[in-house]
Amino acid sequence: MIAIRSGDRKGRFFPKAGEVARLLRDAYPDTDLGNQRDPLDETAFVILSGQTNEKIFEETFRNFKSSFPRWEMVERARIRDLERPLRKGGLSNQKARYLRELARQVRRDFGVSGLAPIAKMKTEAAETYLCSLPGVGIKTARCFDVLITAPRFPSRHPLSENHGAAWLDSLVCSPV
């Protein structure tokens, strides 16, 4: 039995919600979507998924990371050099610009080449910040909330019995 706290000030219990969550976990087990452990890499992965199919964007991401294994390299790279490993995935000029500006903006904002500092932000502030990054919209930002907070706060995992019906958010967190 779980208590749905969000929007339910009386703390009413919905005895079947836990069973529904279990059935969904059984029907839709965790899959490897190619998601990256590093939040900045994950951002690039999602950006590169735009306007292309899964097989191609995964290959494009591998090519990108092979050519630019460190984000400091992306910050200093020329657009035409960034474009080369991105060509197969399409929109290489636009995506190259997004990735370089992403790397530069994160460095300006946090002094490091990484998004780990957003884990300390409140959800709304983190979403606002993420949406300010090139190529990042609200869908991607909300996926980061799930990815970043779930390991530290198991009760916030979308299929956690303590999290209630918010498991729906997790269904939109695969690359587009």
Vertex 7 angle, CA 5 and 11, to 5°: 40
pLDDT at residue 145, as a whole number: 59
Determine the pLDDT at residue 142: 79
Q: What is the pLDDT of residues 19-29, one digit of tens each?
A: 887 887 888 77
Q: Which architecture characterizes domain 1-176 according to CATH?
A: Orthogonal Bundle (1.10)
Q: Which pLDDT does position 3 carry in this prediction?
A: 43
Q: Which two tokens stand for residue 81?
A: 């050099």
Contact 146, 170 (CB under 8 A): yes
Q: How many Å apart are CA 15 and CA 20, to the nearest integer?
A: 10
Report how far apart, in Å, the C-alpha atoms of 156 and of each of 123, 162, 163, 167 are. 12, 7, 5, 9
pLDDT at residue number 85: 97
Q: What does the alpha-carbon distance between residue 49 and residue 60 come to, in Å, rounded to a whole number?
A: 9
Q: Which residues of the chain have pLDDT under 70?
A: 1-15, 30-33, 144-176
